[in-house]
A = this chain, B = another copy of it.
Amino acid sequence: MLNFDYYNPTQIVFGQGSIARLDSLVPADARVLVLYGGGSAERNGTLAQVDAALGQRTVQRFGGIEPNPSYETLMEAVALIRREKLDFLLAVGGGSVIDGTKFVAAAVDYPRDPWHILESFGSEITRALPFGSVLTLPATGSEMNNGSVISRKSIQAKLPFFSPHVFPRFSVLDPVTTFTLPPRQIANGVVDAFVHVIEQYLTYPVNAPVQDRYAEGLLQTLVEIGPLALATPQDYEVRANLMWAATQALNGLIGAGVPQDWATHMIGHELTVLHGLDHAQTLAVVLPAMLDLRREAKKAKLLQYAARVWNITEGSDDARIDAAIARTRAFFEALGVKTRLSGYGIGADSIPRIVSQLEAHGMTALGERQDMGLDLSRRVLEASL
C-alpha cells in the first residue's frame, strides 16, 4: 500500500424525506443563495421542498448553471453574492451545480482574478463560503469530495481544481429526487461512477486488498443496478443504491493508498470542450480503447478485474483481458451510451485538434505512471473511432 492522507468531513444525510433536515443543517441566521441548473428542480418539486425546509431564512436563487458549468455563468453568481451579502450557499442539483457552487464559494473572496483558481488547480485557496448540497443526480461524487471541474467557453478550456476548503458541509441524498430524471442522465451517471472507480482501480497492484475489494464491490453493484435503474425508474431501493455507489465512487476512500490513472478523464474533457459530448459519453468512448492499448502496463489488475467483476477465468491472459474490455463496452452500450467516436459523428480528422488541446493544457504525461505522452493519447483516440 502507498502512504496516504485521507480526510473527508462532509456530513451525509441519506434517505427519503431528508430534505426537511435542511432546517437543522443550515444556520438559522444564514443568508442563503440556492444555486441550481435548469428547470427540472423546479418542475419536480425539489426546490419547493428546499424552500419549505429553509423557512423564514433570507433566500435568493441563482438558476441556469449549465452542464459543464462555465466560469462566465458562475461569475454572475459571485457578483450577486457580493452585492446581496449572502453568506451560505446551497447547491440543488447534480455534479455540475455542485462543482459550480464550489467555484463560487472559493471565488467570492479570492484575492485575484478567480480564473487563477483553475490555473493553479486550487492550490492557493485559503478560504471559501460555507455550502451544502441537495443531490438530485447520482454520478460525479461531487457531493462528498473537494474537487470541481470548470469550463471557460471563451478559451475552450475545461480544468479541475481541488481544495480542502471546498468540501460541502453537508449533502442531502434523497433518492426520490432522482425518479424523474431522463434515462440519458441516469445512464450517464452509471457510466461516470463506473469509470471513476476504474480510474482508481485499474492501474498496477500495490497489495491493497481492502481498496481493491471496495472498488470491485462498487463495480459489481453498478453492473447489477445500472440496467434496473433504467428499467424501473421509481424503484426506491435501486435508486438509493445507485446514489450511494456513485458517492462512494469518488469520495477519496477507494483511491487512498493506491495509484490513480485519470487519463481517460483528461482526454474526455477535451472531447466535451471541442465536440460537446456529455462527460459520461466521452468516458464510454475513451475507456475501452485506453484499456486495450494499456493492457501490458495494467495487465495484473485487468486480469483481476476480469475475474472478480466479470467472472472471466478461462482462456489466455490476452483472451481474458479482451473479454473483460468487451464486457465493459457492452455494459455501456446496453445502457444506451455509445462507445465509439463515430457514434457521435466524430472522425479521424478531429484527432489532431484534440491532441493539440491536450498539449495546450499540459496533459503530456498522463496515467498512473505519468508515462502517457501525446502520441499514446493520439493512438487511444484513433482506436476509439
Q: Chain B contacts of A13 at CB under 8 A?
A: 5
| Listed stretches A95-103, A128-136, A239-247; interface member | A239-247
Contacts of A8 in B (CB 8 A): 8-9
Confirm or deny: A207 has a beta carbon within 8 angstroms of a beta carbon on chain B: yes
Contact B241 A210 (CB under 8 A): yes
A212, closest chain B residue (CB): B217
A18-B1 in contact (CB<8A):
no
Alpha-carbon separation in the docked complex, A241 to B9 (Å): 23
Contact partner, A4, options B15, B216, B245, Cβ 8 Å: B15
Q: Tell which of A71-79, A109-117, A218-226, A283-291 binds the partner.
A: A218-226
A237 located at the interface, meaning its Cβ lies under 8 Å from any Cβ of chain B in the complex: yes
Q: Is the CB of A210 within 8 A of B218?
A: yes
Question: In chain B, what residue has the closest Cβ to A207?
Answer: B237
Does A3 reach chain B (CB closer than 8 Å)? Answer: yes
Query: A208, B241: Cβ atoms under 8 Å?
Result: yes
Asked if B213 and A244 make an inter-chain contact with CB atoms under 8 angstroms apart, the answer reads no
Is the C-beta of A259 less than 8 angstroms from some C-beta in chain B? no
Contacts of A6 in B (CB 8 A): 11-12, 14
How many residues of A are counted as interface, with CB atoms below 8 angstroms from the partner's CB atoms? 41
Chain A contacts with B in 217-268, Cβ cutoff 8 A: 217-218, 220-221, 224-225, 237, 240-241, 244-245, 248, 253, 256-257
Say whether A214 faces chain B, with CB atoms less than 8 Å apart.
yes
With an 8 A cutoff between CB atoms, is A343 at the interface? Answer: no
Nearest B residue to A18 via CB reads B3
Shortest Cβ gap from A33 to chain B (Å) = 24
A14 proximity list for chain B (CB < 8 A): 1, 3-6, 256-257
| Contact partners of A248 in chain B: CB under 8 A | 210
A45 cross-chain contacts in B, Cβ below 8 A: none
CA distance A218 to B212 in the complex (A): 10
How close is A147's CB to chain B, nearest CB, in angstroms? Answer: 17
Give me 29 A-to-B residue pairs in the complex whose CB atoms sit less than 8 angstroms apart, sorted by A's number: A1-B14, A1-B15, A1-B240, A1-B241, A2-B15, A3-B14, A3-B16, A3-B18, A4-B14, A5-B11, A6-B11, A6-B12, A6-B14, A7-B12, A8-B9, A207-B237, A207-B241, A208-B241, A209-B217, A209-B241, A210-B241, A212-B217, A213-B213, A213-B218, A213-B220, A214-B217, A216-B217, A217-B217, A253-B253
5 cross-chain pairs, A with B, having the tightest CB-CB distances, nearest first: A213-B217, A3-B15, A9-B9, A7-B11, A6-B12
